[in-house]
Amino acid sequence: MTLNLEVWEDKDDLYSRAEELFSAQLKNGATTFGLATGGTMIPLYEKLRNSSLDFSHCKSVNLDEYVGIPQGHPESYYTFMQNHLFEAKPFKATYIPNGVAEDVHAEALRYEDLLKSLTVDMQLLGVGVNGHIGFNEPGTSFHSETDVVELTVSTRSANARFFDTIDEVPKQAITMGIASIMRAKCILLIAVGEEKRTAIKALLRGDVTEDIPVTRLCNHPSVIVLTDLKMN
């Protein structure tokens, strides 16, 4: 594998480095970016919003979307992306799964076909406490493609802070599969916070197992990991 680990003591420096990587991709001719949501990405998107970078000729594809939440819902990932990035930095085209499609399984197949028609130059990823990437929970096949998945109790609990009660947190999502993610030419993984240590240590050990989905990245030819965790 080609895994480049960068440890940054200062989180602002870490996110400045992530911005630099987006800039480098643009300068190298990248036109399609895979994007992610969640609190980890908010400081990066703030830097991108305030930068001089121009994405108006680019396309974006998002990792996932909740099932059963319309685009206009304040906690939909569509709303997240509009508020944190797209309103300030418009792309030529943006793609996010439709979580309220009449047939969400057909929507997942449609989204996978879309992904296969594109070449993602750089895929942005976070990682869950249990090592999930996208909404691909432990035990997900490494051959998985975009699908409707059940969210684990731990993942729903982690996201409950964004809702009034955990009962409002959706129980399903449409997510890129692990095989879908692996087709990107380059992957940028950002892992911030002590709770991510176990997952990142597993990735660095190189023991590839479906029990820890992030370890699949060990088999990718180009991965950059930005973290604030010192790995002894």
Active-site residues, by number, are 64, 130, 132, 137
60, β-bridge pairs? 33, 94
Give residues with Cβ within 8 angstroms of 228, minimum separation 6: 7, 8, 9, 10, 11, 14, 192, 193
205, 206, 211, 213 alpha-carbon torsion, rounded to 10°: 110
* Tokens describing residue 136: 């691909």
Counting Cα atoms < 13 Å in the Cβ hemisphere of 114 gives 21
Nearest Cα to Cα of residue 7 among 191, 167, 174, 207: 191
Sheet containing strand 32-35, strands side by side: 3-7, 223-227, 187-191, 122-125, 32-35, 59-62, 93-95
